[in-house]
């Protein structure tokens, strides 16, 4: 399978969740990296220059919303897409995700088919 030119960063404080999603993405031909430490997201984005970051909202220390707002200040919609993955599916959470700079907000558990669909939609823009 040819490697797709899309780099993906998966961030979730639950190692199994982050690692599994990254593993599935690699199996689909994407370049995928995962993190479990929210404080390392900004430096990792600088280093690997992902096209898409799948970011958990409810993490200790820094919320996904805080991380997204920080990333958006440095990378304001210039080819870097942010996707919130969260157990919070209510309208308030979706609004807060949009305000923080997320391109999409999906509710856990997320089917891998939905993840791939989101990647294709965002990268095609």
Segment (H or E) for 7 = strand 7-11
Q: Confirm whether 2 is domain-assigned.
A: no
Task: With residue 55 as reference, give the H or E element that holds it.
Answer: strand 52-56
How confident is residue 74, by pLDDT bands cut at 50, 70 and 90?
Answer: confident
User: CA-to-CA distance for 54 and 64, rounded, in angstroms?
Assistant: 10
Question: Residue 70 is part of which domain span?
Answer: 7-124
Q: Is residue 1 part of a domain?
A: no
Residue pLDDT, tens place only, 13-23: 999 999 999 99
Domain of 48, CATH number, reads: 3.40.50.2300
Contact by Cβ (8 Å): 24, 16: no
- Domains held by the chain: number: 1
The secondary element (H helix, E strand) that includes residue 33 is strand 31-35
- Judge whether 84 lies within some domain: yes
pLDDT in the model for residue 24: 95
Alpha-carbon distances of 4 from 26, 27, 34, 59, 104, rounded to whole Å: 10, 11, 17, 29, 21
Give the global pTM. 0.91
Residue with token string 């891998």: 112
pLDDT greater at residue 4 or residue 31: 31
Take residue 39 and report the two structure tokens written for it. Answer: 């404080």
């Amino acid at each position: 399978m040819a490697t797709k030119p899309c780099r993906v960063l998966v961030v979730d404080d639950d190692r199994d969740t982050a690692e599994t999603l990254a593993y599935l993405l690699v199996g689909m031909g994407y370049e995928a990296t995962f993190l479990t430490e929210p404080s390392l997201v900004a430096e990792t984005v600088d280093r690997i220059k992902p096209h898409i970051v799948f970011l958990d909202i409810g993490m200790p220390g820094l919320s996904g919303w805080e991380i997204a707002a920080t990333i958006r200040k440095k990378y304001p919609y210039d080819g870097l897409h942010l996707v919130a993955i969260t157990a919070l599916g209510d309208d308030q959470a979706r609004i807060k995700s949009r305000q923080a700079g997320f391109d999409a907000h999906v509710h856990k558990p997320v089917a891998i088919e939905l993840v791939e669909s989101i990647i294709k939609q965002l990268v095609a823009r």
